[in-house]
């Protein structure tokens, strides 16, 4: 899997670029590049377990998992609406959307009183409206083809009908449960946006780090079964550039436990149901990101397709056990190292070695 891609979207001037900086700046700078008008930045996923394994093996190469954040350049529109519909191809690559809602200051970009819940609702609705328009167009095309006697994909047509009916109620495809896996697959080529998971950032001012006064936004998020992540992007962007010592001083001063980046990535993993397993050795210590529930055979395929093809068994040990004994051989001896077959469900924090036919 290429790095997890999280796309930042939201109202004009809500602080998307500042949030992007807060999430991607490091004391060493920023590893970022542009794609058209858009800004992309990749960060390493902080993981204390992996760092401890690195300290144990002192490998030649150390490879944490990565997340790519995308600061989406929203095309200017007269009323701030309709920007997303101009970007559907680009946005189709997102694994999830991060909606930035302005909760700092008094006025929004229109000179109206700041209302993060309203900003959130309008982005959510825009995702649905954009999908609905594209679904209708696609259905028209299918009907046209059918009218001319051409063979059509019935599965796609019936799936899109269901999508349309759902979205006409202003509901996102995320909440449509009536599609069979085959129907879901048939809609995939349209890369519909409202099917993707969303996260919400409340970008508050320094004075409102306690998150008070966000009741309406919290209620809007509760409808999505989630909570907003509350932080002050400008403060976090400043802090992200400090060396670790100065950073922890800074955190303490503001009564914060962890930088926003750490909190944010943990939440993204939870939301997307992702876990990590590790491979270790003198050559490389590495984290691999997989969906919860992935079986050993497919996890092996992440590492290399040869490992999936020639899979014999997985040697599996909990990172805690390995770190306790500081020795693979000792884990073999004390039987905390297990041999698992193809269908073993890999657990978060497993350390694996795949036995295979070369
Ligand atoms: N006080 C305060 N100001 C902020 C914060 N985040 C952003 N701003 C300010 O709000 C303005 C807009 O921030 P940007 O990060 O450029 O917002 P954006 O969403 O990228 O804006 P566009 O790309 O133009 O739509 C800038 O002047 C920022 O300095 C914050 O957390 N606190
Ligand atoms: Mg911007």
Ligand 1 atom nearest 14 alpha carbon: 19
Ligand 1 atom nearest 235 alpha carbon: 31
Range 200-220 average pLDDT = 93
Domains of the chain: 1-49+65-273 (3.40.50.300), 293-356 (3.10.20.30)
> Ligand 1: does its nearest atom lie under 6 Å from the Cβ of 17?
yes
Range 226-252 average pLDDT = 94
Q: Which of 7, 11, 13, 80 to mutate to test the pocket of ligand 1 (most atoms within 8 A of CB)?
A: 13
- What pLDDT is recorded for position 78? 81
Q: Strand order of the sheet with strand 198-204?
A: 32-35, 38-44, 66-71, 4-10, 96-103, 198-204, 229-231
pLDDT at residue 81 greater than cutoff 90: no
> Ligand 1: does its nearest atom lie under 6 Å from the Cβ of 102?
no
Range 334-357 average pLDDT = 97
pTM score, whole prediction: 0.92
- Mean pLDDT, the chain, whole residue set: 95
Q: Which pair of structure tokens corresponds to residue 258?
A: 């962890």
107 beta partners: 113
pLDDT at residue 2 greater than cutoff 80: no
Question: Strand 38-44 and strand 32-35: pairing?
Answer: antiparallel
Per-residue pLDDT tens over the stretch 263-281: 999 999 998 999 999 999 9
Neighbours of ion ligand 2 (CB under 5 A): 16-17
Q: For atom 9 of ligand 1, which residue has the closest CA?
A: 15
Cα→Cα distances 306→138, 246, 299, 352, Å: 39, 46, 12, 16
- C-alpha angle 169-174-179 in degrees, rounded to nearest 5: 85
With a pLDDT cut of 90, the percent of the chain lying above it is 89
> Ligand 1: does its nearest atom lie under 6 Å from the Cβ of 232?
yes
Per-residue pLDDT tens over the stretch 106-163: 999 999 999 999 999 999 999 999 999 999 999 999 999 999 999 999 999 999 999 9
Cα→Cα distances 74→23, 283, 325, Å: 19, 43, 52
> Ligand 1: does its nearest atom lie under 6 Å from the Cβ of 261?
no
Q: What is the dihedral of CA 37, 92, 233, 276, to 10 degrees?
A: -130
Q: pLDDT-derived band of residue 48, with 50, 70 and 90 as boundaries?
A: very high
Range 14-25 average pLDDT = 96
> Ligand 1: does its nearest atom lie under 6 Å from the Cβ of 130?
no
């Amino acid at each position: 899997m290429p790095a997890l891609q999280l796309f930042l979207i939201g109202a004009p001037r809500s602080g998307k670029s500042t949030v992007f900086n807060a999430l991607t700046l490091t004391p060493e700078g920023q590893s970022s590049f542009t794609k058209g008008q858009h800004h992309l930045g990749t960060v390493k996923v902080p993981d204390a377990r992996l760092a401890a394994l690195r300290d144990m093996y002192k490998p030649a190469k150390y490879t944490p998992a990565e997340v790519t954040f995308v600061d989406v350049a929203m095309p200017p529109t007269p009323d701030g609406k309709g920007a997303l519909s101009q970007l559907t191809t680009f946005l189709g690559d997102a694994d999830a959307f991060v909606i930035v809602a302005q909760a700092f200051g008094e006025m929004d970009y229109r000179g109206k009183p700041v209302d993060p819940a309203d900003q959130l609702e309008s982005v959510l609705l825009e995702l649905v409206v954009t999908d609905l328009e594209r679904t209708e167009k696609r259905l028209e095309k299918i009907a046209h083809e059918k009218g001319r006697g051409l063979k059509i994909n019935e599965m796609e047509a019936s799936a899109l009908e269901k999508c349309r009916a759902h979205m006409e109620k202003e509901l996102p495809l995320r909440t449509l449960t009536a599609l069979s896996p085959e129907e879901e697959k048939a809609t995939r080529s349209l890369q519909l946006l409202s099917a993707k998971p969303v996260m919400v950032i409340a970008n508050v001012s320094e004075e409102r780090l306690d998150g008070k006064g966000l009741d309406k936004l919290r209620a809007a998020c509760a409808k999505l079964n989630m909570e907003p992540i509350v932080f002050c992007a400008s403060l976090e962007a400043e802090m992200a550039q400090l060396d670790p010592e100065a950073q922890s001083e800074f955190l303490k001063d503001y009564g914060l436990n962890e930088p926003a980046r750490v909190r944010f990535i943990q939440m993204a993993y939870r939301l997307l149901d992702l876990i990590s397993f590790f491979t270790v050795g003198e050559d490389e210590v590495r984290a691999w990101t997989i969906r919860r529930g992935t079986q050993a055979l497919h996890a092996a395929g992440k590492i290399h397709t040869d490992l999936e093809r020639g899979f014999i068994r997985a040697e599996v040990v909990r990172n805690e056990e390995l770190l306790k004994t500081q020795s693979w051989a000792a884990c073999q001896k004390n039987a905390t190292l297990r041999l698992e077959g193809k269908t073993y469900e890999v657990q978060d924090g497993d350390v694996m070695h795949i036995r295979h036919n070369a």
